[in-house]
């Protein structure tokens, strides 16, 4: 009997194989699998070095590929921008007429002559008027239009398209269109004033020494207000509504909310519009040449237009190049001062 009990006990002690449904998934098995001799085994002493060497190799290849893509663009930039710019500095100190290969080096005479040139001084003052008037007009009307089309109405998208459409029209076409509108005899503006019974307000908009420059500036404002509207509209839509709701709960009126809550948050939009507006005003050329050609007299002549007339009509390319360099320095200084002042104000705010 004792032997039978031992046999039964040994039989019951044997482990029965588990059914397949009771086995853990292959990812959780703890069985040891044989190591494949062809695979790389982790070694804490060498893995860091191999990884570092691989990253260095990849970064080196990345730099080589980056240089391969950048070199053609860099060569194009040097050939068509850097070299002509340096050559302009040289020709600004000569009496080159644009055609004759023989010219004389004059030093700083061209720059000193601009200081005593009354025509260039008048063009400089006109350019400043263009820049200031264009910047202020675009900001005022662009901000007003952005507020009007930011009310969540169904027709807002249609109005945005209409207000922005002048931005995509060529400046030459705009100049010719407004030249017909502002014509003193057959122009639509004077005809409209006469129809409204305001004949006393009819003017020779492009022939008056006092009104011509502001007429051209107004056309430029009309063309660029849509661009400023888009910049301000993007900034308005990013203003947190919690600030406006908090101001409303404190009893602030709509004007107070706009002045003390919304307007300070539009500082990035003001920075962009002021800088781009000043640069566009300082480079005013196409509207002047199409609408007035610098007249009457030299009342609307800008620095860009006088550069064109001096170079291509008077064949004095040396002096025109000197004017271009002076214009470049003026734009550079004004833009740097603007960015410094606006960034400083933003930091203080």
Q: What is the Cα–Cα distance from 111 to 89, expressed in whole angstroms? A: 11
The answer to whether the predicted template modeling score (pTM) of the entire model surpasses 0.85 is no
At 63 the pLDDT is 81
Cβ atoms of 325 and 92 closer than 8 Å: yes
User: What would the pLDDT profile of 4-34 be if each residue is shown by its tens digit?
Assistant: 454 455 455 555 555 554 455 555 444 445 5
- For the chain, which ranges sit under pLDDT 50? 1-4, 6-7, 10, 21-22, 28-32, 35-43, 45-46, 49
Q: SS3 for 154-180, per residue? A: CCHHHHHHHHHHHHHCCHHHHHHHHHH
CB atoms within 10 A of CB 36: 8
At 16 the pLDDT is 56
Q: What is the Cα–Cα distance from 45 to 31, expressed in whole angstroms? A: 27
The residues, any chain, with a CB within 8 Å of residue 299's CB and separated by 6 or more, are: 126, 209, 212, 213, 292
At 62 the pLDDT is 79
Q: What is the Cα–Cα distance from 326 to 332, expressed in whole angstroms? A: 10
At 3 the pLDDT is 47
| Dihedral angle over CA of 280, 286, 287, 292, nearest 10 | 130
User: What would the pLDDT profile of 113-145 be if each residue is shown by its tens digit?
Assistant: 998 889 999 999 999 999 999 999 999 999 999
CATH class held by domain 118-348? mainly alpha
Residue 342: closest CA among 282, 266, 238, 284: 266
Helical (H) or strand (E) element with 229: helix 212-237
Give the Å distances, CA to CA, from 6 to 1, 15, 236.
9, 16, 91
At 41 the pLDDT is 46
Coil vs helix vs strand at 151: coil
At 136 the pLDDT is 96
Question: HSE-up of 297 (CA within 13 Å, CB side)?
Answer: 10
Cβ atoms of 138 and 227 closer than 8 Å: yes
For the chain, give the mean pLDDT: 84
């Amino acid at each position: 009997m004792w032997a039978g009990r031992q046999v039964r006990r040994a039989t019951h002690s044997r482990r029965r194989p588990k059914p397949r449904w009771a086995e853990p998934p292959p990812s959780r098995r703890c069985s040891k699998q044989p190591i494949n001799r062809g695979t790389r085994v982790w070694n804490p002493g060498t893995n860091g070095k191999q990884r570092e060497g691989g990253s260095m190799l990849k970064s080196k290849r990345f730099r080589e590929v980056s240089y391969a893509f950048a070199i053609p663009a860099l060569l194009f930039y040097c050939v068509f921008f850097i070299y002509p710019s340096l050559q302009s500095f040289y020709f600004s100190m000569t009496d080159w007429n644009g055609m004759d290969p023989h010219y004389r080096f004059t030093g700083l005479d061209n720059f000193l002559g601009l200081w005593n040139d009354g025509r260039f001084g008048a063009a400089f003052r006109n350019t400043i008027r263009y820049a200031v008037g264009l910047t202020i007009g675009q900001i005022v009307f662009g901000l007003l239009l952005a507020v009007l089309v930011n009310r969540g109405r169904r027709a807002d998208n249609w109005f945005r398209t209409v207000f922005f459409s002048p931005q995509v029209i060529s400046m030459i076409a705009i100049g010719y269109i407004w030249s017909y509108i502002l014509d003193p005899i057959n122009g639509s503006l004077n005809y409209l004033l006469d129809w409204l019974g305001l004949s006393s307000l009819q003017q020779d908009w492009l022939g008056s020494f006092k009104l011509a420059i502001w007429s051209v500036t107004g056309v430029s404002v009309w063309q660029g207000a849509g661009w400023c509207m888009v910049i301000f509209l993007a900034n308005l839509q990013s203003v947190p509504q919690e600030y406006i709701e908090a101001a409303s709960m404190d009893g602030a009126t709509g004007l107070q909310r706009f002045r003390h809550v919304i307007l300070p948050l539009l500082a990035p939009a003001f920075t962009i519009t002021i800088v781009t507006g000043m640069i566009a005003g300082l480079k005013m050329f196409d509207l002047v040449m199409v609408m007035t050609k610098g007249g009457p007299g030299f009342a609307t002549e800008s620095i860009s237009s006088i550069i064109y007339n001096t170079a291509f009509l008077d064949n004095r390319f040396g002096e025109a190049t000197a004017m271009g360099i002076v214009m470049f320095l003026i734009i550079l200084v004004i833009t740097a001062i603007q960015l410094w002042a606006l960034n400083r104000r933003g930091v203080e705010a």
